[in-house]
Structure formats: structure tokens, C-alpha cells
């Protein structure tokens, strides 16, 4: 029996490929397996090849694998595009309808199953995906019942008869495939899952749920791939919490509206991707200058310009660290898994409130859209800290006297009050200002206010600035990454170790202010530092060099073709970079 299985379904976009993957993976999740799914899709809505690859495992996983065990194909294109991933023992389950042909150099076995025909006989060709799921069940030796609860949920509304028909389609697919496979039945049987209830969600859902748990009641946003699911999730949920999502006319409005709401004392945020973040730059400066808490999620995608809107990339890093004109304090954090996405949102809102500045949560397409197993969120880990926000009664002020909203303090953080409070009147402006918020261009005041704003950065409380998996005291290689590359790196670190290349892994979670203290020993005790990132210019590597020095040790390992790193591919690339002297 296997510990891991890699399964993929492919066909034309809009043909129910998503739901096939969805039904299969939800059922696997309920059996207590760990999953990681990644969808390949194009910007077109209907038509164009799409596929959904799902990694099923008996232990934690944060990546899709390089190879493939089962390919479910609804058209020849799916076979052509994907067959090279199949292992020797792999299997293609193809719909008889398109008269599938096995490519000459394809090592895997092709089984032609009449998906559409069976489905049509049972009433509608739409059920061809259920037949395919039945065929998968045969290969994995699964009971059809494992799909029952999912089928109930999807088709229950349409009545018992429809549920029955769909289960019948699964059974038929299972049975016919059994006959075809003969001795291969159960070839891909997995060790049983642990039956634990875990979440199966995309990163954007974890981010959205995190915002909700952080107490955000307003989201202003403009749709964009791959961020839209965040607003779409919250517009369903926020009304139950008294809040709402406002779809604005553009991202400038989205960011400034969130600033307005935050100025008003509510927790508000926005989410977008590269093009939207470009439009928000001036607003980030306003939040920085006026010390208004602001949380912005950037789900990075292929840039520049419209770039590769549906593909993976991590190329907004520099723009997020340095973006907006002039200089403001800003915090940039980068979750790398669904769990981190959730808790990081809570931390982002807390940091924004505590330090009164913009916090950017840097996701990427793979994390945002990759559907993954996530451990249930721990309620006891949720806390809300609004810093020096003072919403209760304020001491009396003399008539016309303004509240010192920008009072100079030791930590640089001043008491924040909101409109509507008696004795709290003050001015807020993006112009340089004095302690009461009134415009002031005096040189002395200017310097003091700049220093005050930047002083706040010394007080960032973030639980894990660097995730480390560093079993080697002295390492040959330190692999460094941020965001969703974690999954591939964590797969290969032990593999390299096993090959005698002593390897440590550091994943940077707090990118600004940069965790110099945490990174120092890791870099000092590594012969070579390889920075793995999805961009062309090695942005994280440059930031590492800027903060840590060690230019001679730091090596770029980049990928910018729009696809995520795969573990074995990464393994080869790392080894290519190692010379004899390194080990």
C-alpha cells in the first residue's frame, strides 16, 4: 500500500473539471488524508485546457509532486500536455468518447473507459465526472460510499433521485473499470487515512477567515485574480457579523476606503494583486504618514503589467517593501501555508493597530489558490490587540484645544482616538504635521515626527519571524525562501541530507523589518546560502544580501516561467549549484 498518490484530472475549462477534482479531494480529506491541490487554468472562462493536480498523502504536505500516478483525461489534449509526468506504473483513465491515443513515448498504461457513454445511459452526460471518480475508486480500491456524503451535499438540493443517479454513475464507473483492470484493481491503494477532521481550503479562504477572526467588519476591494475569492468569501459571511464588503470602482478607492474606515475605528482591509497594489501606492503612503492602521493583502501573480494573471510568481516583493514615494514605516509578512495565512491575518491586524501603520500580507498565487489540508484553527490562539486605541472617555480639554494624536512618545506610538469622541478632536493630514496633526514644515518637528514614525518598527511583535527546519549545526547548504515555495523546499531538505549534503531550511515569514538576528546564526553556520524564489531578479536574495552581507555565499535559484517549483526539479537545481568545494 502507498503513502502517497498523485492524481490529476484534465479537460476543457468549463466542463466540470473543477468539480471532479473537488469531489475526489473532499472525499479524501474526509478520510483523514493530507492533500495539496494545484489548478492549472487559463484566463479564459470557457475552453482552454485546465487541470487539477492533487497530492494525497498520509502525512503533511504543502506541494504538488513532480510525477503523477493517475491521469483522468476528458480530451486528447489532456493526455498530450500531461503524460510526461506519469510514472512507469502510472495509469491514464480516458473517456472513450474522444478516441484516446497513447503517445508513443508514454510509459504509462492507457485505459479507455466509456465515461460519457455510461453517464448518458444513466440520464445525462454531465455525470461523466462521476463515472471517472468511480474509475479512480477502482484503482485505489475505495468503497463507493466514501463519496456518498459529498454527493449528498452537492446534489441533495436536487432531490434524492439525482443523488441516487450520481452514486449509480460512480458505481458503474467503478465496476466497468474493475473489469478492464483485472489484476490491476487496487493498484494505487493507499494506507488508510487517520480519519481526523481537517480543513480543506484554498489560501484565500484561510486569509478571509483570518480577517473575520481578526474582527475585520469591512472589506473594500476590486476584483482581480488571484485575490477575488477573499472578497467573495467575506461577502457571504460578513452580513452575519454586521459588516459588509464594498466592491469599489478601483483599487485606489478600495485602499482609501479601508483607510477611512480604519480612521473611523473599525478594522477594515483590502486585498488585491500586483496591478491593484500599484494603484494603492499613494494610499499606503497616506496610511503611513497619518499613522492609520491598514491591512493590505497582495496575492502575487505573474507580472509585470498584466503579465501572467493566472500564474505563480513572487515578484512584488521589492515593490511591497519599498513602494510608495517617500519613506514610511511598514510591516511586510509572508505566510507560506493555509494555517499561517489564517494566523498571519490576525497578527497583521494586531500589528497594524499596535503600531498604527500599514501591514502588507504577501501571499502568492500558489498559496492563494492552491487547495490544501489545513489543521483546524485553534480558537485559543486568536487574540485581538488594538494597541493604543482609546475608545472610552477622554480627559477634558480646554475649548479649541486639539488632542495630541501624534504625541511624541518613547516607543513612537501615540494614543489613537476616533471621530465622534468628545475631547478627541485633532487633525489628520498627509502633510507633515505637529503633535496635534496640524500642518507643520518646521525642520525640527519634521525630523522628530519622522523619527517617531520609524521608532515604531522596533516594537513589531510577530510570533515566528523565520520558520526554521535546521537540524544541522554546520550546514553545507542553507535553503531560504518565502511564501508557497516552502512546500517544495521542505520536501527536498531531508532528501539532500540523506545524500550527505547537510541542508538547513529557513523560510522568512517577517520580511520587513528583516529578521537579522534570527537569520544570522543560520547564515554563519552554512557554507552556501541558496535563495529559492519565483522571480527573475532574485529579489529575496538581494534583500538578504542587503541585510546580512555575505554576498559571496548567497546564490540565486529563481524560476519565473509561471509555474511553481516542484520538489525533484528543485532538488536537481540545488545540486547543480553545488560544487565540490561546497560539501
In eight-state DSSP terms, residue 36 is: E
Which residue number, 141 or 152, has a Cβ lying nearer to other proteins?
152
Residues 343-372 that bind other proteins (CB under 8 A): none
Cell 454513475, located at residue: 169
CA distance 257 to 269: 9
Q: Identify residues 150-189 at the interface with other proteins (CB under 8 A).
A: none
Residues 6+ apart with CB under 8 A from 119: 125, 126, 127, 128, 130, 131, 169
Site string for other proteins, 533-572 (x = CB under 8 A): ----------------------------------------
Segment interacting with other proteins, rule: CB under 8 A, options 86-94, 255-263, 536-544, 556-564: 255-263
Distance CA 317, CA 539 (A): 7
Question: Please, which residue, 267 or 493, has the CB nearer to other proteins?
Answer: 267
Three-state SS for 387? coil
Q: Among the candidate windows 92-100, 313-321, 424-432, 483-491, which touches other proteins by CB under 8 A?
A: 424-432
Q: How far is the CB of 323 from other proteins (least distance, A)?
A: 15
Q: Which cell goes with 477?
A: 547548504
Nearest-angstrom CA–CA distance, 348 and 461: 10
Site for other proteins in 432-471 (CB under 8 A): 438-439
For residues 285-314, which are near other proteins according to CB under 8 A? 285-286, 290
What is the total count of residues that contact other proteins (CB under 8 A)?
75
Which residues does residue 219 pair with via DSSP β-bridges, in sequence order?
245, 269
Contact between residue 481 and residue 533 where contact means Cβ atoms under 8 Å apart: yes
Nearer Cβ to other proteins (241/459) = 241
Looking at residues 194 to 213 of the shown chain, list those that interact with other proteins (rule: CB under 8 A): 197-201, 205, 209, 212-213
DSSP per residue over 186-227, as a string?
TTTPBPPP-----EEEEHHHHHHHHHHHTT--EEEE---TTT
CA distance 583 to 572: 16
| Residue placing its CB nearer to other proteins in the complex, 209 or 511 | 209
Closest distance to other proteins from the beta carbon of 230 (Å): 14
Other beta carbons within 10 Å of 547: 16
Which residue number, 269 or 482, has a Cβ lying nearer to other proteins? Answer: 269
- Taking the complex as a whole, the smallest distance from the CB of residue 103 to other proteins amounts, in Å, to 38
Q: How far apart are CA 314 and CA 143, in angstroms?
A: 41
The residue from 57, 172, 311, 426 that contacts other proteins (CB under 8 A) is 426
Of 488-507, binders to other proteins (CB under 8 A) are none
Per the document, the length of the chain is 583
- Least distance from C-beta 415 to other proteins, angstroms? 15
> Distance between CA atoms of 331 and 350, rounded to whole angstroms?
12
CB 302 within 8 A of CB 225: no
How many other C-beta atoms can be found within 10 angstroms of the C-beta atom of residue 40?
A: 18
Which of 140, 170, 230, 261 is close enough to bind other proteins by CB under 8 A?
261
- Residues 287 and 330: their CA atoms lie apart, in Å, by 9
Site for other proteins in 18-47 (CB under 8 A): 29-30
Q: Residue 379 interacts with other proteins (CB under 8 A)?
A: yes
Among 303, 329, 370, 424, binds other proteins (CB under 8 A): 424
Tell me the three state secondary structure of residue 108.
coil
d(CA 331, CA 458): 11
The smaller minimum CB distance to other proteins, of residues 36 and 467, is found at 36
Is residue 374 within the footprint of other proteins (CB under 8 A)?
yes
Binding residue for other proteins (CB under 8 A) from 148, 248, 542, 556?
A: 248
Q: Is 238 in the site for other proteins (CB under 8 A)?
A: yes
The span of 34-42, 109-117, 232-240, 476-484 binding other proteins (CB under 8 A) equals 232-240
Amino acid at each position: 500500500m502507498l503513502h502517497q498518490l498523485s492524481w490529476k484530472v484534465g479537460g476543457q475549462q468549463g466542463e466540470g473539471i473543477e468539480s471532479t477534482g473537488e469531489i475526489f479531494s473532499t472525499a479524501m480529506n474526509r478520510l483523514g488524508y493530507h492533500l495539496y491541490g494545484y489548478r492549472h487554468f487559463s484566463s479564459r472562462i470557457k475552453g482552454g485546457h485546465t487541470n487539477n493536480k492533487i497530492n494525497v498523502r498520509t502525512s503533511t504536505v504543502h506541494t504538488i509532486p513532480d510525477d503523477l500516478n493517475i491521469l483522468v483525461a476528458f480530451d486528447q489534449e489532456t493526455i498530450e500536455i500531461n503524460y510526461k509526468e506519469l510514472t512507469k506504473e502510472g495509469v491514464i483513465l480516458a473517456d472513450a468518447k474522444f478516441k484516446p491515443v497513447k503517445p508513443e513515448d508514454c510509459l504509462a498504461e492507457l485505459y479507455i473507459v466509456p465515461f460519457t457513454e455510461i453517464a448518458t445511459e444513466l440520464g445525462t452526460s454531465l455525470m461523466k465526472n462521476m463515472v471517472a471518480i468511480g474509475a479512480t475508486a477502482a484503482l485505489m480500491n475505495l468503497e463507493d460510499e466514501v463519496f456518498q456524503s459529498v454527493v449528498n451535499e452537492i446534489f441533495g438540493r436536487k432531490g434524492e433521485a439525482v443523488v441516487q443517479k450520481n452514486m449509480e454513475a460512480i458505481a458503474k464507473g467503478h465496476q466497468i473499470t474493475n473489469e478492464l483492470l483485472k489484476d490491476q484493481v487496487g493498484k494505487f491503494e493507499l494506507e488508510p487515512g487517520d480519519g481526523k477532521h481537517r480543513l480543506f481550503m484554498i489560501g484565500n479562504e484561510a486569509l478571509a477567515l483570518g480577517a473575520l477572526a481578526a474582527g475585520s467588519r469591512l472589506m473594500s476591494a476590486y476584483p482581480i485574480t488571484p485575490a477575488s475569492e477573499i472578497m467573495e468569501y467575506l461577502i457571504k459571511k460578513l452580513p452575519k457579523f454586521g459588516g459588509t464588503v464594498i466592491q469599489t470602482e478601483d483599487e485606489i478607492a478600495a485602499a482609501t476606503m479601508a483607510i477611512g474606515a480604519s480612521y473611523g475605528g473599525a478594522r477594515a482591509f483590502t486585498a488585491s494583486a500586483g496591478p491593484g497594489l500599484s494603484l494603492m501606492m499613494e494610499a499606503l503612503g497616506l496610511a503611513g504618514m497619518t499613522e492609520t492602521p491598514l491591512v493590505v493583502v497582495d496575492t502575487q501573480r505573474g507580472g509585470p503589467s498584466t503579465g501572467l494573471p493566472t500564474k505563480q510568481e513572487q515578484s512584488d516583493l521589492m515593490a511591497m517593501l519599498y513602494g510608495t514615494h517617500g519613506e514610511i514605516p511598514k510591516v511586510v509578512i509572508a505566510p507560506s501555508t493555509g494555517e499561517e495565512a489564517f494566523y498571519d491575518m490576525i497578527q497583521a491586524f494586531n500589528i497594524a493597530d499596535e503600531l498604527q501603520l500599514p501591514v502588507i500580507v504577501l501571499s502568492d498565487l500558489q498559496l492563494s489558490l492552491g487547495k490544501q489540508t489545513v489543521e483546524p484553527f485553534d480558537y485559543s490562539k486568536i487574540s485581538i490587540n488594538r494597541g493604543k486605541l482609546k475608545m472610552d472617555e477622554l480627559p477634558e480639554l480646554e475649548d479649541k484645544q486639539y488632542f495630541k494624536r501624534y504625541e511624541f512618545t518613547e516607543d513612537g506610538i501615540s494614543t489613537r482616538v476616533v471621530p465622534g469622541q468628545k475631547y478627541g478632536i485633532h487633525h489628520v493630514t498627509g502633510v507633515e504635521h505637529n503633535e496635534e496633526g496640524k500642518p507643520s514644515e518646521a525642520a525640527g518637528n519634521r525630523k522628530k515626527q519622522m523619527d517617531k514614525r520609524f521608532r515604531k518598527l522596533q516594537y513589531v511583535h510577530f510570533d515566528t519571524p523565520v520558520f526554521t527546519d535546521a537540524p544541522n549545526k554546520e550546514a553545507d547548504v542553507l535553503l531560504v525562501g518565502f511564501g508557497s515555495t516552502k512546500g517544495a523546499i521542505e520536501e527536498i531538505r531531508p532528501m539532500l541530507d540523506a545524500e550527505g549534503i547537510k541542508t538547513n531550511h529557513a523560510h522568512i515569514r517577517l520580511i520587513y523589518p528583516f529578521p537579522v538576528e534570527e537569520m544570522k546564526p543560520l547564515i554563519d553556520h552554512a557554507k552556501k546560502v541558496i535563495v529559492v524564489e519565483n522571480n527573475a531578479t532574485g529579489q529575496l536574495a538581494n534583500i538578504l544580501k542587503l541585510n546580512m552581507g555575505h554576498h559571496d555565499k548567497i546564490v540565486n535559484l529563481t524560476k519565473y516561467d509561471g509555474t511553481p517549483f516542484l520538489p525533484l526539479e528543485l532538488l536537481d537545481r540545488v545540486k547543480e549549484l553545488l560544487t565540490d568545494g561546497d560539501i
